[in-house]
Structure 1
Amino acid sequence: MKYITLLLIAMMLFSCKTPEARQPESVKSGSFYKESAERNKKLNERERTKIEAIMAQNPEYDYVASNSGFWYRYHTKVEIDTIAVGFGDVVNFNYEVKDLNGNTIYSEKELGNQTYIMDQQEVFTGLREGLKLMKPTETVTFLFPSQKAYGYYGDKNRIGTNIPLIVKVTVNSITQKNNN
C-alpha cells in the first residue's frame, strides 16, 4: 500500500507539465503564394489571348478596354448626357451569359428582368463594374476574364472554375436613390 501511495504522489508531481508548442513539420516560406501567383499570371495571359482573338475576329466592332480589366462594345449607345448610375441607385436590366465559344450558359429569357441596388447587393464583380459604365436603354457586350466573372469558385451551378464569359447587358432603367 505504501508503494502505491508513493507511486501516485510521484505520478501527480511529474504529470503537471506545461504544454509545449509543436513545431511545424516543414517550412516553406511563401512558396505557395509564389506558385499561386505564377499560376494566376499564366491563366490571365491565356484568357487575355482568347479574348483578344475574339476581338480580332470581329474587327467591325470597336472594343474598349476598361480600367478594371475587361473589354466591352456597344450595341446601343446613348450619346446624350443622361442619368449615370451611382451608389444605392436601382438598376433594372436584362442580360445573357455565354462562354468564349459563344455557347449560351444562361439565356436572357431564363434570367428574366433583373433589379439590382448598386453596390448593395451581390452580383459578380465584372457585371457590377460594367453596369456603372452604362446608361438607360444602352446595350453592351462585355468580355470578362474569369477573375472578373465567377473566378475560382464558379457559380456552383453551370459556370465552372476559371471560366471567362461573354455577357450581353441591356439597362432598361436607372432609378436614382433619393438623397434626403
Structure 2
Amino acid sequence: MQKVILLSSFLLLGCAQNTPSHPPVGGFLSEKDLNTSKNRAKNLNETERGQIRYWIENQTEKFYPMNLNYWVNIENLQQNPKKNDGDDISYEYDIYDFDQAKLYEKPKRNINVRFGHFEELKAVEDVLRYLPTNSEATLLVPSVLAFGTYGDNEKIPNDMPLIIKIKVL
C-alpha cells in the first residue's frame, strides 16, 4: 500500500504544471526573468571571450582587442581617422566559423552605403569607420555582436561567435 501511495505521489508531482520559463509572446518580463536573461548573456559573453582568447593564443597571426568587445588583426586601428555619419563606404565581407569554414558561398557586399543610414553588425560598422579604402581586416566577433540568440535563420545558429574577413572597396 505504501508503494502505491508513493508512486501516486510521484505521478501527481510529475503532472503538476510547471511555471513557464519565458512569458508568452507579447507578455512582460518580470524582474527575475530580466535578471536571468542578463546573467545568461553576461556568462555567455565571458565564456565566448575566453574561448576566442584561447583561439588567438594558438594562431600565428596577432589580434588586438577593440573597445566594442571584438578583436581585429590590425594593431592600433582606432588611431586611424574615424569616418562620420553621412560618409559613404563600399565594402564586402565573408563570414566563417571558428573552424574557419566559410558559411556563405558569396560575400555580403554593400556599395555606396552611408554611415548612420544602414543596418549592419555592430562590429562590422565599427571596424569600417577606421579602415581606409582598399584595406582588409579580420574580425573575431562574439555572438552578442554577431547574430546573437537567434542566429540568422539560415546558416548561422544561435549564440555563434564568428570570424569576419572584411574589405573596403
2:47 matches 1:46: yes
Deviation at residue 74 of structure 1 after TM alignment: 3.2
Match of 2:83 in 1: 85
- Tell me: CA distance 1:36–1:84, structure 2 relative to 1, closer, same or farther (3 Å): closer
Q: 2: CA distance between counterparts of 1:29 and 1:91?
A: 42
- Tell me: CA distance 1:151–1:91, structure 2 relative to 1, closer, same or farther (3 Å): same
Deviation at residue 111 of structure 1 after TM alignment: 2.4
Percent sequence identity over matched residues?
25
Q: How does 1:26-175 map to 2 (within 5 A)?
A: 30-58=31-59, 60-74=60-74, 84-107=82-105, 110-111=106-107, 113-115=109-111, 116-172=113-169
Residues 57-115 of structure 1: per-residue CA shift (max 9 Å, x gap): 11x3231111111001039x99xx7x7422122211121100112111124xx126422
Return the index of the structure with the highest Cα Rg.
Answer: 1
Structure 2 length normalisation: TM-score?
0.73
Contact 1:94/1:170 (8 A) holds in 2: yes
Deviation at residue 147 of structure 1 after TM alignment: 0.8
Structure 1 length normalisation: TM-score?
0.69
Give the superposed CA RMSD: 2.4
Q: How many residues align?
A: 138
Return 5+ residue gaps in structure 2 as ranges: 1-28
Deviation at residue 29 of structure 1 after TM alignment: 5.4
Contact 2:64/2:74 (8 A) holds in 1: no
**Once superposed, which parts of structure 1, at least 4 consecutive aligned residues long, lie more than 3 Å away?**
none
Deviation at residue 156 of structure 1 after TM alignment: 2.1
